[in-house]
Amino acid sequence: MELAHSVLSDLNFEQILKECAKFSHSQKTTERILQLNPSSNYNEINNRLQKTDCLLVSLHRGESIPIEIFPDIQSIFNTLQVENNPLDEEQFKDFFKILEISSSLKSVLKKSSFNSLKHEVDGLYLNLSGQKQILQIFDESWQISRNASPELNKIYKMIQSAEASIDKKLNSVFEKAKKNNWLHGDNIQLLDERKVIPMKASHKRKIAGITFGQSASGQATYIEPIEVIEIRNELIELESAKKAEIFKILLQLTDYFRDDLDQILKGYESLIQIDLFTCM
């Protein structure tokens, strides 16, 4: 039996739900709270009261429930459903947050004093081995660590070597141009992410290379020396190899969790339910 809308209005039920929603730790929980309706089912009412009472008693005992703001991970579910589609860095950051909170909650709520929440607690998704793998691949800023794989580390070293070679050859050409008074400026400059030498327009043919434009006045011409072009091409190939290796690493890590999709969905739902009861 549903209460008439007028009765709910008289009870200011909608405002009560909004006040409860202020204590939620996720947008999903807030949405669930605002959709709640009174129930006349005895078993449902009794079940909810037991869970709420359990959490209230825990507060009186001075026990804190280790729950904090957690993200909406619908995009993660969508990605896991598509083969050969890896989670990205931001998704892994959010997923790791869910794993951390779930683990902390289970360590507290597994006590017998929280038996009324056993169904939700048992449903939480835990994967300590997976958490360790995530931490081995990402650095503190949630970027792929250069040590995420031996191959990636090798590519990074080759990139550093190529960049050093470019700088060395650029400096050599720059010093030659400076010595001969061909320069229009005192420094190697960056133009469209390329390091170029600013030459006087009248001397631009003194250095073989590719012209990448000129100054507004037309007095300076920006040239990338031919000595660095081949290395630049190698660098472009190395950057492509780095992207491919990062994709491979992310895909392997994603596939580790992909078969657990149903458990992850169940775990996230349990997390929302526990959050909901802490608000009511």
Task: Determine the Cα–Cα distance for residues 196 and 170; give it in Å rounded to an integer.
Answer: 8
Q: Element (H or E) spanning 128, and its range? A: helix 128-137
- Three-state SS annotation for 161-222: HHHHHHHHHHHHHHHHHHHCCCECCCCCEEECCEEEEEEEHHHHHHCCEEEEEECCCCCEEE
Which of 95-104, 179-188, 237-246, 267-276 has the least mean pLDDT? 179-188
Measured in whole angstroms, the distance separating CA 231 from the mean position of its chain's CA atoms is 33
pLDDT tens by residue, 120-169: 999 999 999 999 999 999 999 999 999 999 999 999 999 999 999 999 99
pLDDT tens by residue, 231-272: 999 999 999 999 999 999 999 999 999 999 999 999 999 999
Sheet containing strand 220-225, edge to edge, reads: 189-191, 194-200, 220-225, 209-214
Asked whether residue 72 carries a pLDDT value surpassing 60, the answer given is yes
Task: Determine the Cα–Cα distance for residues 192 and 2; give it in Å rounded to an integer.
Answer: 66
Helix (H, G, I), strand (E, B) or coil at 89: helix
Residue type, 274: I
Span between the terminal Cα atoms of the chain, in Å = 22
Q: What is the pLDDT of residue 127?
A: 97
Measured in whole angstroms, the distance separating CA 14 from the mean position of its chain's CA atoms is 35
pTM to 2 decimals? 0.85
Q: Which residues pair with 225 in a beta bridge?
A: 209
